[in-house]
Chains A and B, each alone.
Chain A
Amino acid sequence: MATGIIKNVEVKGIASAVPERLVKNTDYNDVFGEENVSKFINMTGVKTRHVAYDEQCASDLCYVAAKKLMDKLNWEPSSIDALIMITQTPDYATPATACVLQHRLGLKEDCIAFDVNLGCSAYVYGIWLAAAMISTQDLERVLLLVGDTSNFGINQNDSSTAMIFGDGGSATALERSEGKEIKYFLKTKGSGYKAIMVPAGHARSRGRNLTGAFCELAMDGSEVFSFTITDVPRTINSFMSQYNINRDDVDMYVFHQANLFILKQLVRKLKIPIEKVPISIDRYGNTSGESIPVTLVDALGGDESNDRIRLFLCGFGVGLSWGGIYLEIDKSSCLPMIYTSEYFTGDDH
C-alpha cells in the first residue's frame, strides 16, 4: 500500500463555498413520482442540494473560498508558492484552471500552478500532494483548491444521478510547520474505470457524435457500492494497524459523502461510533471531491476555541481511486460555510 508520513507540514485553514441556489429533491416528485423520490431520499439521505448557476464554475466557488481564507490567515498573495486545483469540471479543455486562478487571485509569477483530475478521492490526494511538496521542496505555503460542479452534464431525467449531486468549491491552506506531520495512504483500482464515467469531451471521443448519453455522467451504483464496502474498510483497517492508530486516537472521521446508505455501512464495517462521523449529505448532497471540506466546515466552521482535533479523512470513488489521511488541526481553522452567487466575468467566450 502506498503509505507514509509527511513531516513538518500543517493544514492552517479550510474554507468551503457553495452556490446560493438551493434545490429540494421533493421538487422532483413530478419527474420521477413521489414514491420513487421518497425511496431515493431515504436511501441516499439527500434532501437538499446547492446547485451552481449556469455561469458559475467550480473555479468561481474555489476563488471565493480562497479569497476569504487568505484574508482570515493574513496570507499575502505574494507569499503563496504553489496552487493546486483538483476538479473534474475545469473552466476549459485547456488551459489548466489553476493558471486562470493564479491570475485571478493575484498570486506571484514564482508560483507553481497546475490541475489534477480526480473526483471523490480529490481531497486526500490533494492534501498528500500539497504536503509532500512543502516537505520535500523548498516551499512554505501551498493553496489546495478542490471543487466540482458535478450537476454540469447531468441528465435531469436519470433518477440515479439527477438528485444526488451538490456543487461546491474549497480552499485549504498548508504551511511548513516544524514538528507537525500527516500520515496517509493512497490506492487505485483502474480496472473499475468505467464504474463512474463521462465518456465524451476529450481525445478518446474525437470524431464521434458528441450528444446524448455519451456526454452524461454514467454511474454503476452497485459496482461502486460493493467496492466501497469491501476494499475501502479493508485498507482503512490495515492503515490504522500499520500506524497503530486506535479508534480512540481519532476525534472525527470525515468520509466522502457518497450517500447515506454507504456511510452507514462503512460505520458498521469499521465499528466506529456514529457520533464521530459528521454528515452533510442531507443538506449539501454528494459534492464529489469537495465533500470532505464541506463536511468539515459544516461540523467545525466558526469554532473559535483553541482546541486541537484529530481527524481521519477518507475519500473513495471515481477512478476507482481512494485514500485516507490522519492529521491534527486547530478547530478554529475551519471558516463558516460561504454561500455565493459570484462568477468570473473576465472573458467573453
Chain B
Amino acid sequence: MDIKEKLNILEELLDLEKDSLDTDTVLDEISEWDSIAVISTIAMFDSLFGKEITAREVNGFKTVKDIIDRME
C-alpha cells in the first residue's frame, strides 16, 4: 500500500475531501481530529491492518506521518 492510499484511508475516516491531507499535516490543526476520530483510528488499525493499538499511542500521534508510519 503506497502513501497516497494510506492518506486516502485517513481522509475517508475523518470525512475529509480526497487528497486534502499530506504527511506533514499536524493532527491538532484538523478540526475533525477529535475523540471520535481517535476511536475510529483504533478500529481502522484493528480491521484493516490487524493491529491492536492503544488509545495512549493514538493520542501520542502528532502528525499524519505518525499514523501513516504505523500502517504497515
Contact = CB atoms under 8 A, between A and B. Distances in A.
B31 to A, nearest CB: 11
Nearest to B46: A229
A276 interface: no
Contacts, number: 41
A226 interface: yes
Contacts of B16: none
Q: What class of interface size applies to chain A in its complex with B?
A: 10 to 19
A211 interface: no
Contact of A160 (B35, B42, B52): B35
Nearest to B41: A222
A238 to B, nearest CB: 16
B47 A268 contact: yes
Given A225-B42, A265-B46, A268-B47, A43 B55 contact: no
B52 A230 contact: yes
Interface in A202-250: 220-223, 225-226, 229-230
A39 interface: yes
**Helix, strand, loop or mixed for chain A's interface?**
helix
Given A220-B55, A268-B47, A226 B42 contact: yes
A312 B37 CA distance: 31
B42 A222 contact: yes
Interface of A: 39-40, 43, 160, 220-223, 225-226, 229-230, 261, 265, 268-269
Interface string B29-57: 00000011011101100110000111110
A222 B57 CA distance: 11
B35 A222 contact: yes
B39 A225 contact: yes
A220 B55 CA distance: 9
A73 to B, nearest CB: 42
A220 B54 CA distance: 12
Given A39-B36, A43-B36, A230-B52, A222 B43 contact: no
